[in-house]
Each structure stands twice: as C-alpha cells, then as structure tokens.
Amino acid sequence: MVSLSALSSEGLVKACVELDNEAAWAEFIRRFQPLIANVAGRMTRRHSPQAPQHLSDDLIQETYLRLCADDYRLLRRFEFRHQESIFGFLKVVAASVVLDHLKADLAQKRDANQTDALSEHDPLDRPRPGSVGCISMEDKVALRQIDDILCTHYSGDMLIRNRAIFWFHHRDGMTAQAIASIPWIGLTTKGVETTLRKMKHMIQSHIGTNQ
C-alpha cells in the first residue's frame, strides 16, 4: 500500500473526498496547513492589523469548512492541470475566506455607525454578491458558461490568478485596487484593470461567435 505521504496532490485529494479517509485528511492538513495559515495570517495582518490573535486560527478553520462544504464541492470541481495548481487553488480559497470575513466585519461596523443612512445600503431582499442560493437558474447557466470560457483560454497559474480576479470583481464586488492589494495576485491596480478589460473583451467575443 502506497504511503499517504508519497501520494501526489491529486491522489491525496481523491483519497480525502472519495474515501473520506481520516488519515488522508491528516496528511492533507500536514501538507497544506502551512500554506493556508500563511495566507490567512498575512492577509489578516495586512487588512486588519488590530485583529485578535485567534482570528487567523478561526479563518483557517473556516477555510477547511468551505473546502468540505456541500460534499467537498470545491475540491471535487477542481481540475488538476498540473501538480502545483492545488497550491494556487488553496490560496484562492483561503484568501476568499479572509476577504469575506473582512467585508462582513466592515459591513457590520458600517451598519452600527450609520443606522440613520439605511438608504445608502443595498435593499435587504437583494441577493448578496456570492450568495449562490439567491442566483437564478438562468444566471447560474451564464456563470457556468463564463467559467468554462475562462478555463478554455487560460491554464495553470494564469488560470488560477485570472479566474480569481474575475470572480473577486464580478461576483464579490471587489475593486481593482482591493484585488491588487492581495499579495499573491502579483499585479498593480492598473494591471488588474487591464486583466479585467482583456477578459471582458475575450468573453464577449467568445459568446458573440457562439450565438
């Protein structure tokens, strides 16, 4: 029997999600915990220097919960284009967890400080960006089509980065400046704006040729 420590990243993920193997998950944590902890800690310190020490630990646990949610949906859908791609994927997930927390915390503080300015906020019945349960079936089809286009035109680290940029902006409502502030993105605000513009034109062109 092959040792779990000798498994490829793809083999290890399969053992985790298909067999729900406790030992496989222990190896997953041993192998990828430093990466997830580094992203969670670095982003928390960068965006919220006064945050309590335990927040990073909480966000690490939240990252694992997100990976395990809906019968490991994110891990099952992830495509191993090369063995190193899992590291970029986990960075995206961990960064998304941190940003979701920071946005929720900011919104909570804003609501507390501006209770007299409710008209400035989104209506309560409006779907929150990233809330899949509120997206119509038509929108889900469109989002899936766009994701397929991105996967067709990019690969490897470029796919991971550009896919993250696109969804951070169009699904989560992040500005180019906010996206550029994420260290692993590795682009300036101008670079993010250029990437978004190129992807928009590419997607529009692709959809136009298939209608």
Q: What is the CATH number of the domain that holds 183?
A: 1.10.10
Which pTM does this prediction carry?
A: 0.55
Number of domains in the chain: 2
Identify whether 108 is part of a domain: no
Task: Tell which of 61, 81, 101 closes a domain.
Answer: 81
Identify whether 97 is part of a domain: no
Residue 176, number of CB atoms within 10 A of its CB:
21
Say if residue 76 is in the same domain as residue 139.
Answer: no
pLDDT at 153: 85
Identify whether 174 is part of a domain: yes
pLDDT tens profile 139-170: 555 667 787 888 888 877 788 788 888 888 87
Identify whether 171 is part of a domain: yes
Residue 178 structural domain: 135-211
3 state SS of 116: coil
The dihedral of CA 188, 191, 195, 196: what is its sign? positive
CA distances in angstroms from 75 to 34, 55, 86, 153, 177, listed in the order given: 18, 24, 9, 21, 29
12 class by beta-carbon count within 10 Å (0-12 exposed, 13-18 middle, 19+ buried): buried
Measured CA to CA, the distance from residue 28 to residue 205 in angstroms comes to: 40
**Among 55-69, 99-113, 141-155, 180-194, which is the least confidently predicted range?**
99-113
